[in-house]
Amino acid sequence: QTETTMLRFLTRNWRNLLFPVVSFSMRSASSGTKDRLKLANKVAVITGSTNGIGFAIARRLAQDGAHVVVSSRKQQNVDQAVAMLQREGLSVMGTVCQVGKEEDREQLVAKALEHCGSVDFLVCVAGVNPFVGSTLETSEQVWDKILGVNVKAPALLLSQLLPHLEKSGQGSVVLVSSVAAYIPVSNLGAYNVSKTALLGLTKTLSMELAPKNIRVNCLVPGVINTKFSQVLIKDTDFGDHVKRLYGAQRVGRPEECAGLVSFLCSPDASYITGENIVVAGFSPHL
């Protein structure tokens, strides 16, 4: 009798989470066969996407058929990225967006809708680390900056795009954390914390948005060859530490992160949500 009561309780409380995801999977599978490119006619908004991992993701999603909206803090960088991708024949437009500013987020959403009419995917790559030092040496201003850009901004931008992702019927959100969430990097205390927070944000949002047929997953890159990671890459001791403990023999490339994001946005990942997926040559969380 007790087991029967518990089963009914679980079924009743998880019904809203499970059923929408299953129905979405069936719709995606049937529609995915109609297009040669798996992301054809979809629209992706990507923050922090004019260089490094974000740029590689923008290129890959566009190559797979999506209309891509790139953004970053500087107009010059946006113009260069858009020009480069358009020369490759890809459907790309761009706008300046400092994600920590409300007016910039509003402009990003408005321009995406103005040029593309809808939004299906949101990929949040933008992140900052303005301070190198211990956690307890971090000033309140720096804490606000790091948490504001790395954690709060993705949630606020998602809330602004929510009606449009819901209208899509197959919305996908990808947050970008870091392996520092699992292996804290010395002297990057507040940054480590912000990236760990993104793991929890992914889990929470995935449950809240499942009834709306919106999936939320998280890319967790290891040491990838970008401008942002040059300090670590040049640190021989850090590289030897990673090799010794985990067997990773080389630094990763931005392109090695992009394929996973394209997959997570595609119908092939229609039954995957709430996952924090490490792309680091090893799995430090296991």
- Give the catalytic positions in this structure: 191
Q: What is the DSSP string of 227-283?
A: STTHHHHT-HHHHHHHHHHH---S-B-THHHHHHHHHHHSGGGTT--S-EEEESSS-
> Looking at beta carbons, which pairs linking 81-90 to residues 24 or more positions away fall under 8 Å?
81/49, 81/50, 81/51, 81/55, 85/58, 85/59, 88/59, 90/59, 90/62, 90/63
14 vs 133: CA distance, rounded Å: 43
H helices of the chain, where?
A: 2-32, 52-63, 75-87, 102-116, 140-147, 153-168, 189-209, 230-233, 236-246, 255-265
